[in-house]
Every structure is written in structure tokens, then in C-alpha cells.
Structure 1
């Protein structure tokens, strides 16, 4: 690939170039996300038209700063094409400070630890075809088109593929937190809810599904597991059951409740943020804080464990007597305390694998649940809240039910494919590059002409 070709491609990527290592305070999910992501889609279409980016050889994973050779030259070409390395830094084959900074920028954009050297996950991200990135950006745009979330003055965002949480106020991020979200076989749901309270020193009532999948097998292997985990078995009227009286070997469906006592070893940690919803998910602390150091953080059973959750709780309780010091003092008592919010705060659990921020940096995350498909997009889009049913006043007659008109059999026709037609994809499941016209299932027109 010639320098001239690379420079021509980069000229079309001006929208991608932001300050190296910069972090904008605009949220990943907000009123401006659609327009910014559309800019990123246009820029990546240009990359695709010009042939995409070159594959980086596996040998780069052994490179250290100041290394020299053809692998470094290939790495630099790749970084220039995605706007991570300035074009004037392209000549040469030395792994210099510019390359280190460019690799760090690339890693930040892909949710990886910014070490400045190319590891296995970084290499995988670099060698992901541009067509896949186009598909991710297109999926985000389609989700945002069908978005049913109303952005309030204060709200919280849980981006599931990003394994991250943002606290937003007046359009700006006030807190950013790493998170641990649902693993693929126990995925976190896409939904909207309202945060209503902060619970200190919570107990944990283990869901029946986890009792079946985890607790029962543990007890078969280790009869002392419940005692070691500070868990109790509760029967009718919360009467405690002796675990030794349970036939764990033949038990398939629990007839009791499993509850874990409050404390630093509680699976919810020492803070839980409540948000009533049909999926029974919430944000919480964790005793296993070392897991936040991992780049891949999909280990929970659906809820989101939040790093620095006490800071998030303090933000939710701003303007009350519950200062950070007061929260810490209450936690130190070791007793459960539920603190209702004076005003609920909306929260959106979203599924965004590609978007552009205000700083011009285009962010990508792995499609961990495989939802960047036409059907997956439909199921991972926040739906508008259903309006409350109208209350019929006393003495007011109920309206007669309206039945759909019957159609004669002779008029029955096969449904048109148009409403079910997804955007055209190749056999690999990605959008053809440079198609210019993109349609998704459920849309009646082009995303852009």
C-alpha cells in the first residue's frame, strides 16, 4: 500500500481524528449520538470503498517500543487508516513514541487497557474487517432510530457491550464506571427503568435460577458451602431450615429461599442501587473487585457490578443529608439501610457496539451477545414506555371492544417481503462496503441516500 493511497484515505477520515487520548464529557448514549455516529458511518464507508485496512501480522504482539522492522511498518499503515496515527508519522519502521501513543488511542477506542503494546485482544480488534465495523455503526443507528428513552436532566447509562456505566447530568458525564455485566448464557437485558433507592449493606435473595444452576451443585460437592458463604435457607414465614435436612443429591427444584447475610462478602457487596423492572436487574457492588482489571468483563448473571459504586450512590443522593461521609458511616454499622431517592433517576440499559463521541473518537465494542443482526437489533432496542391505561370514572360506561374487520378469504394475500426485508448482507453476515443505501428490518426507507 502506497503512502499516497494512505494519505488519500486519511483525508476522508478527518471526522475520526480527535485529540489523542482525549475523553469527551458527552455521554456515549445521548441526544447527539445518532448524528455523530452517522458521521462515523460515512467515514468508514470511505475506508471500505478504498479497500479497507491491511491485516496486521501476528508478529506485532512480540514488539516492544523502539523495535524496528516490516511488522512495525504494517502496524503504522493500519493505525493511519483508522485515524489513530497522524499521516506525517507514517514514514519509517520504528516503534517510536508516536506509535505507542497511536496504539494507546486505538486501545481506548476499543475499550482495552491502554498499554501501548499490541496484545492478543488488540490484534484481534485491529484485524476486524471494516465491513464488520460498518455493520456495528449501522446497528447503532437503527437502534437509535427506534429509541424509546427520554433523556432527562439526570440519567444513568449502562452500555452492555462496553461493560460501562455513565452518570449524566445536563448532557455531560459526571461519573464513568467500569462494570461487569451478564455473560452470554445469562445476558443483561436491554430496558429502561427508574432508580428509586440506594440500599446499604443489602441482603441477597438468590434467584431460583441461580439456586438451581449454582447453589445446588455447590452443596452436592461441599455441604459447608452455604455456611462459608453466609447464606441461610428460609422456608414458610421465613423460618430457617437446617441445610443438613435437605436431600441435595435428589433436589431439582428448591422449596425454600436462599438469602445471603449483609457484609463485605455479600455477592452484592455493600451497596445495591434499586430500579424496579420486569427483568429483576439492578446495579450493585461486589467483593471481587479484582475482576474490574480485566478487559473482558462479562461474568455476571445479568445484573451490573459497578466499580466505585459508592461514588455513583453518592451522586444519586446529592442534595440530601447522605454525603459520602454519611454513607460510609452507615455502611460501617453493618446493618441494612434503604434510602429512597427524593426524585427517581431514569436509567437506560443499552446495547451499543459502535458509536462516535464528541471528541471525534469512534468507539467499538465486541458484539458479545451476537445482536448486531436484523432480528437482534429489534430485540435490543429500548421500546417506548406503554401509556398508562385510562381510568374509567364511576358510572362511566366502558367503551365497547372494537373488533378488527373480517376479510373475505378471497382477499387473503401473502405478506409482502418489504416489511421483513433486512439490509443486504454477505455470507459472512456483514454489510457490503460502500453500499450507500442501508435498510434494516422494520424500516420503510433508507438510512441515508
Structure 2
């Protein structure tokens, strides 16, 4: 089911009304203790069942059983999946944290999402791509159904991925990478001060305003003058964009691409980039975008030539990057995600277990 479509705002409005009724009825029961799991009995299990019934993860007929059975494990797993948590089927720390948040908190969260969705004026195409930033996930939508779904790595809180509406126009095979000015100032310069061989090891060249290559040793990297130059990384092994970039012109200069740091796709929290979106299985997405006659194998063959090539997409595809920490899929299932950029509440939001391995 799509995360984002023409019915998203109406479904969020219905969710808000449903949660408002829960609030009028006294709100959620107390959150269960960490460690509650299969085999438990008693009042904590009854409170958990009440909560899961409220959020439609457990049938009403299962409300009054004080024992933890297999059906309750399934219901807890469903709750965890809806909240973007690991499906453990027991009350772990993260699950309890989400259950401890009040219904009033959820109503505020839903309200902010309604504001953001309502501010987007989109004529949804037959084929389009959605990136939901808090989910770190990409969906390729066709005729109202999710044709492809991919794990992604998105911007870290200090370099957030923006909300974007753009059009995907081409696939760039074996792309070069032009380093953003912000990274030159904050990271490349300090790297060069500490290690003058950094650019050569990264296969990066320095280009002046006339398009001429400049010797990095001639630049004072401790000054602000470095930002007057363009730094470009050669295509091939180790390129920060990997072997493929999805071209989607936009004012924020962000895009979707491959990555040499594929291990980050296995992280629970995938907020590591400088704002662009890295896509697991990007070759398959590229084939879907290119359409008839393309598959992941053919995309791989183009990459294997080692040549730079820009392949235009015959029927351009809209792409929408959204920040939805609450959404309802067309089947009526409510989903929640962490407010990693503090857009809903503005208080400090911690991403547990996050370790920045490769900042690009």
C-alpha cells in the first residue's frame, strides 16, 4: 500500500478524529514494562491487550485474556511494524518508548503531518516515486499500487533531506561527483589541513572558475578560499555516488543514488547522508524508471562498461520526497515514524545506535 497518494490527507483527518475519541475516553493505558513477553500473565498483559485493541492490532474479542499467547505476540509484532520498529514480538525498550507517548502527543503529530501534506499540491501521476524520509524508504508507485519498495539511507539530522517535488529525467551511469560547497567548507578543507594527500587518495580534482585543473598544494585550505573552487571526484570504484545516480533536477541539488557504503542499509536507523538519498537495489529502481526493455541485469551491464553515460528516461517520472511521521495507507492501517528532524515537536530527538561510518 502506498505511503503517499491522493487520499493521504483525508485518511489522516479520519485518524485524527479516531484518536480524538480515544482522548475523550481517557487516553491510552499505562505503557507495559520492558521485558514483558510470551508466558507473562496478569494486569500488565491486560493493559497491553487494551492498548492493542485501541489501535486495532488485536481484535476486541481478545481484550480480556490475562495470559500472553501466540495471538498477542502477533499483535505486538504488528504494532512494531506499524511504528517502524524491529519486529521482536515482545516489549523491548523502543516499543515501550512508543507506547509511553500519550494520545495527545499522537494528535499533535498527526496535525503537523496534515499541515505538511495539505501544503503539497500534487497531481499524482500513473507512475511516480515516493521517498518517505522518516521511514528511510523509497516506493515506486504504478496505477495506485507499490510496484517496488526499497530500503534507503537519508540525511542525518544535521544535514536533513529536504521535502522535494521533482521529475526524474535520466539515469547517470558511472557518475562523477561534484562536492557541494558546504562539504568543501566544513569537511574537505579540514581534511586537507590534516592530510594534504586526502584529495588524491579520494581521486578528487580541484577545478578553478575557468575549468582548469589546479594543484591542491597551491591552495590555502585553512582559509575560506577553498570554496572558490570546484572539487570533483572521478567516477569508478570508491565514488561517493556509487555506480549510478538518478537525475532529478531541483533547487536543493539533491538526488537518489548508489553508494559504496552498502553496509549502512542494514542499520536499524538509516540517517547518515548529507541530504541525498542512497537506495538499496538502485539498479532495479533504475530499470523500472527506464521502462520497457530494461531490467537490473541490463543496468548492471551498462555499469560494467566503466563508461560515463546518461540514459534519458522516455516517460519522465515525478518524484516526491515527503516528511511523514504519521500516515495511513489505503487499507486504513495507521503508521508512525520517529520525528528525526524535530519538525513535529522541536525537542531533542536522539537516534539510538547511530554511528556515521561514511559521511557522504
TM-score between both structures, scaled by the size of structure 2:
0.88
**What residue in structure 1 maps to residue 39 of structure 2?**
66
1 CA distance for matches of 2:237 and 2:50?
Answer: 49
Q: Residue 55 of structure 1: which of 7, 14, 30 is its match?
A: 30
Q: Give structure 1 stretches of 5+ with no counterpart.
A: 1-24, 377-427, 429-449
Cα distance change of structure 1 residues 285 and 73 upon mapping to structure 2, 3 Å threshold = same
State whether residues 47 and 130 of structure 1, in contact with CA within 8 Å, keep that contact through their aligned partners in structure 2. yes
Does 2:329 correspond to 1:352?
no
Matches within 5 A, 1:249-328: 249-251=222-224, 253-319=226-292, 321-328=293-300
The one-character-per-residue Cα deviations of 1:282-326 (angstroms, maximum 9, x if unpaired) are 11111212222223222221111112111111100112x443222
State whether residues 193 and 275 of structure 1, in contact with CA within 8 Å, keep that contact through their aligned partners in structure 2. yes
Q: Which has the larger radius of gyration?
A: 1
The one-character-per-residue Cα deviations of 1:321-372 (angstroms, maximum 9, x if unpaired) are 4432221111112222110111211111222221211222101112222333
Question: 332-341 or 227-236: which moved more?
Answer: 227-236
State whether residues 45 and 66 of structure 2, in contact with CA within 8 Å, keep that contact through their aligned partners in structure 1. yes
State whether residues 212 and 252 of structure 1, in contact with CA within 8 Å, keep that contact through their aligned partners in structure 2. no
**What residue in structure 2 maps to residue 224 of structure 1?**
197
State whether residues 111 and 295 of structure 1, in contact with CA within 8 Å, keep that contact through their aligned partners in structure 2. no
Q: Residue 334 of structure 1: which of 306, 311, 321 is its match?
A: 306
2 CA distance for matches of 1:252 and 1:55?
Answer: 58
Q: Give structure 2 stretches of 5+ with no counterpart.
A: 348-360
Does 2:167 correspond to 1:199?
no
Q: Residue 17 of structure 2: which of 12, 37, 42 is its match?
A: 42
2 CA distance for matches of 1:223 and 1:161?
Answer: 37
2 CA distance for matches of 1:224 and 1:76?
Answer: 60
Cα distance change of structure 1 residues 64 and 260 upon mapping to structure 2, 3 Å threshold = farther
Kindly state the Cα deviation for residue 162 of structure 1 after the two structures are TM-superposed.
2.2
Kindly state the Cα deviation for residue 66 of structure 1 after the two structures are TM-superposed.
3.1
1 CA distance for matches of 2:76 and 2:236?
Answer: 41
Kindly state the Cα deviation for residue 40 of structure 1 after the two structures are TM-superposed.
1.6
Cα distance change of structure 1 residues 261 and 93 upon mapping to structure 2, 3 Å threshold = farther
Kindly state the Cα deviation for residue 174 of structure 1 after the two structures are TM-superposed.
0.7
**What residue in structure 1 maps to residue 352 of structure 2?**
none
Of Structure 1 and Structure 2, the greater strand share is in 2
TM-score between both structures, scaled by the size of structure 1:
0.72
1 CA distance for matches of 2:193 and 2:47?
Answer: 54
Kindly state the Cα deviation for residue 83 of structure 1 after the two structures are TM-superposed.
1.7
2 CA distance for matches of 1:94 and 1:261?
Answer: 61
State whether residues 128 and 318 of structure 2, in contact with CA within 8 Å, keep that contact through their aligned partners in structure 1. yes
CA RMSD of aligned residues (A): 2.3
SS in 2 for 1:178: strand
SS in 2 for 1:254: helix
Matches within 5 A, 1:128-207: 128-207=101-180
Cα distance change of structure 1 residues 293 and 115 upon mapping to structure 2, 3 Å threshold = farther
SS in 1 for 2:239: coil
2 CA distance for matches of 1:365 and 1:88?
Answer: 28
1 CA distance for matches of 2:216 and 2:39?
Answer: 61
Task: Give the count of matched residue pairs.
Answer: 347
Kindly state the Cα deviation for residue 201 of structure 1 after the two structures are TM-superposed.
1.1
SS in 2 for 1:180: strand
Matches within 5 A, 1:88-167: 88-167=61-140
2 CA distance for matches of 1:300 and 1:104?
Answer: 29
Kindly state the Cα deviation for residue 205 of structure 1 after the two structures are TM-superposed.
0.5
